[in-house]
Amino acid sequence: MYAKAKLALANGDIDFNGHSFKINLYLDTSNCDTLTAHDALADLTNQVATAFGYTQNTKAVTISTADSSGTITIDETTNPVWTASGGAITARFAVIYDDTHADDMPIFVCLLDTAPADVTATDGNTFTITMNASGVVTLSGADSN
């Protein structure tokens, strides 16, 4: 989770239940894995180009929240999919951002392969991001009860 997004969440500027969210793919040369500096989508470099079944800034995702004994889980429930057509889709990172926020604030970044290596869907195949079954992020602390 980006540092500026944590502050925005604490200040009430991000509403996981009321805002719209999207996900983008980024190349290995992107700066999107620097978690401390970014508070606007425009800050991120080297998004995958619109081509071969991928279109920049268009893939909506659904964010859900749940509370279990004081641990808050934030999850993405749609497992975004792109189908490569006419060529390959290749990416190293995925970024979920708040599309309702004035600056399209980046919230979460994910390295798509822990090697790290690029992930590629060849022509006719799907590029699917399957979110962790435990959620994108959890917030925990002392239970007030």
Structure tokens at 145: 């009860």
Among residues 31, 35, 25, the alpha carbon closest in space to that of 137 is found at 35
pTM, whole model, 2 decimals? 0.92
Q: Which pLDDT score is estimated for 78?
A: 87
pLDDT in tens, 57-110: 999 999 999 998 888 899 988 899 999 999 999 999 999 999 999 899 999 999
Mean pLDDT in the chain? 93
Please tell me the distance from the alpha carbon of residue 127 to that of residue 80, in angstroms, as a whole number.
Answer: 8
Given pLDDT bands bounded at 50, 70 and 90, which one contains residue 4? very high
Please tell me the distance from the alpha carbon of residue 5 to that of residue 20, in angstroms, as a whole number.
Answer: 15
Q: Which pLDDT score is estimated for 142?
A: 59
